[in-house]
Structure 1
């Protein structure tokens, strides 16, 4: 049986600890039989031969920029069957200036609402809110999330702008608080998949810090997402 090849691409904003975060999952990939290559920039996306030979791309690159050549290489690989996955800002807040990247992924971080102003201390914990990740009907059956129950987190709660071509496995609801400008609760995707050509994409929005990534529910979703997104035989 041919060994699967995974490419881990990391970088961007250091606040999401791209090296430490991805190192949490490299042993999982190797234990599941993947040959893992790690790259510290998106330059590799322009290597069309390398991407054509890659079964799964795991990206952890928050913000940053991507060139047209790099994005074209990534997009072509996904269309041809290469899986694409990641978590939090490493995939849902990457390359904000690239509308074509947003089109590929299907959803984009907009904000993470904060605590009541009088409770804020001026650090990242101002945006750590208790919230529920709620499985959808599809999510209760999908291989990435089947068997999981709704779960609670206290961390950044992503508000995502998205299109209708994503398959939402879990959601989270932002309540309307007196200090916020919106007037009714807003429910947005927390975990979704996307079929793009022959490729599969999985986005998991929790994952701001290492402790969140080590949460059993979050980690399960990310790890299953890697396996599910990997190129299938029909895409070979």
Structure 2
């Protein structure tokens, strides 16, 4: 039985659609706990879980708000979690607006820079064959196109997104950190994206991997 814990929802990404999508994806051999407040997560006992999903950005409020919710303590607990051989999954806003000089940025291998003001029609395709892209074929979604700054020597890209107006951007990557694994998927701004069959397959593959 895989034990999964997810922290979801923020100022721009309602927890309801994220919770609905994760519940819809849940499998009989998964024990899934979903939280919408940082205070609900048992940070001390995070290594009791197999996977920790962040689908919430680092700010407390809107972009203009300079306050971050994540503390040095929580970032260290995530590092300890990975040192215990566990898995961190950063979905969409889970890679956005965290301190760029913080430990989580070093753990993730990249951070969000910008996206166009309007959602784009994106052609999403894998850039490598691996266990967590198994069975995934090219698909089209309407979503925010995230543009990222990455530490290219530290990550392994496996997914790209391309729009007619803005060209190609990285949409998914993997890296090892200490004894654990870090996965990033940048699509996921709305429920329709997370309901897409190929997105569901990607998420399930990552959790099962």
Query: Structure 1-normalised TM-score?
Result: 0.75
- The answer as to 2:171 corresponding to 1:171 is no
Equivalent in the alignment of 1:18: 15
Which of 40, 48, 52 lines up with 1:57 in the alignment? 52
User: 2:19·2:34 contact (CA, 8 Å) conserved in 1?
Assistant: no
| Residue number in structure 2 paired with 1:39 | 35
Asked if residue 132 in structure 1 is aligned to residue 135 in structure 2, the reply is no
Q: Secondary structure at the match of 1:113?
A: coil
Report the counterpart of residue 160 of structure 1 in structure 2.
Answer: 148
Q: Secondary structure at the match of 2:25?
A: helix
What CA distance in whole angstroms lies between the structure 2 residues aligned with 1:213 and 1:221?
10
Q: Give, in angstroms, the shift of residue 163 of structure 1.
A: 0.9
Q: Aligned match of 1:93 in 93, 96, 115?
A: 96
Structure 1 residue 197, shift from structure 2 partner: 1.3
CA RMSD of aligned residues (A): 2.2
Query: In structure 2, how many angstroms separate the alpha carbons of the residues matched to 1:43 and 1:97?
Result: 23
The number of residue pairs the alignment matches comes to: 199
1:28/1:133 CA distance change after superposition, 3 Å: closer
- Distance in 2 between residues matched to 1:161 and 1:88, nearest whole Å: 14
Larger radius of gyration: 1
User: Superposed, which structure 2 residues align to 1:1-236 within 5 Å?
Assistant: 3-13=1-11, 15-29=12-26, 31-43=27-39, 47-48=43-44, 50-64=45-59, 65-89=69-93, 91-96=94-99, 99-114=102-117, 127-136=118-127, 138=128, 141-164=129-152, 165-173=154-162, 187-228=168-209
CA contact (8 A) 2:100 2:111 kept: no
In the alignment, the residues of structure 1 paired with residue 78 and residue 97 of structure 2 have an alpha-carbon distance, to the nearest angstrom, of 13
1:54 Cα deviation after fit: 1.1
Question: Which deviations, in whole Å up to 9, do the C-alpha atoms of 1:81-109 show, x marking residues without a partner?
Answer: 121113211x1115245522111111211
Could you say what secondary structure the match of 1:74 adopts? helix
